[in-house]
Chains A and B, each alone.
Chain A
Amino acid sequence: MNDERITVGITVNGVTHRAVVEPRTLLVYFLREQLGLTGTHVGCDTSQCGACTVHLNGRAVKSCTIFAVQADGAEITTIEGLARDSALHPVQEGFREKHGLQCGYCTPGMIMSAVHLLQANPRPTDAEIKHALEGNICRCTGYVNIVEAVKWAAERMRGDHVSR
C-alpha cells in the first residue's frame, strides 16, 4: 500500500500552517488532530449531519468529506476563528442568548452554517433559515431555539435592535 506523504499549506483562521499529511487524511482530522482545533466535530462521518462544517474559501462545507490535500492553498475558517479577541460572533451570542443548544454537539456546525447564510442573506425568513440548516442535524431536536438564535443574530448583525 502507498505510504506517500504530501506537504500542504493551509490557512486556518488567518494562520498559515505547513504540514505533512497522508493523502487520505480528511480535513476534519487534520484540523482536530494535527492542529488541535477540536471545536469542529465529527458526528455521522457520512456527509449528512453537518457537525464538521467549516468555511473553505468562504463557503460552508463538510470537512469530513474533503481530503486535506484538496484544501492545499485554501483559507479555512473554523468555529475557533469566529470570535474577535474576547467578543463572541453575533451568531455565537445568539445561540447563548436564545438557548440554541442542548447537548452542544451539533452547535459548531450549526453556527458555521448560520454564519454562511447570514453573509449572503442578512434578512432570512424562518423558512430560509430552516432550508439553510438542512445539512445540519440536531439529535436533541432543538431546532426551534436554533432558528430563534439565528434570527436574533441576524437582527444584531443588521443593527436593527438598536432602534427598538
Chain B
Amino acid sequence: MSEEQRLRQLLSAPRPSADLERRILEGLPPARSWRHWWGIAASVALMLAVFWPTLGDPLAPFIAHAHAEQGLEGRLAESPRMAGVVLVKHCRVAGRPYLHLRWSTPAGPLDAFYAPELPALPPRGEHGGRAWTVAGLPEGAVLAIHPPGIDPLPWIRKINLKEDT
C-alpha cells in the first residue's frame, strides 16, 4: 500500500455520530412554502380590495375645475398633470347634487361621482375667459383636473391665451 493510499485510508476512517444528519436537518430554519407566499399574496389582495376605492380613484384628491368649451381634450392632454374628463350627467343622490364624471384610462372608461361644491373658475374678465360654476356646466363639457395645492390659474391663463391668439 502506497503512502498516498495509507493516507487516504486513514483520512476516510473517522465517522460522525449517527444522529448528526438528524441534528443538522433539525437545526435548519423552516423553508418558506408556497402556502407562505400565497398567504402574503392573499393579504395584499385583501388590502387592495379594502383600499381600492381610494387607490383606484385617481381623481379623489383632485379639485375639478371646469371649462365648458368642447374640443379642448387634445390641448388638455398636452399636460401630463391634467386629464380630460367629461361631465356625463348632473345627478342627485339623497337629494344632494353630484357630478357624474368619466375619463379614459388604458383599462377603459372610469366613472366617478363628485359633489359639485367645487371652486368655480375665476370671474369673467380676470383672465380673459368665460367663467363657469361647476354646478352650471352643461352635460358633455370637458373638464380639466388640477392637483390640490397647485394654483390652476396659470393653466387657465395658458388656455385662454391660446384661445386669444
B partners with A = no
Chain B positions within 8 Å of A, measured between CB atoms, are none
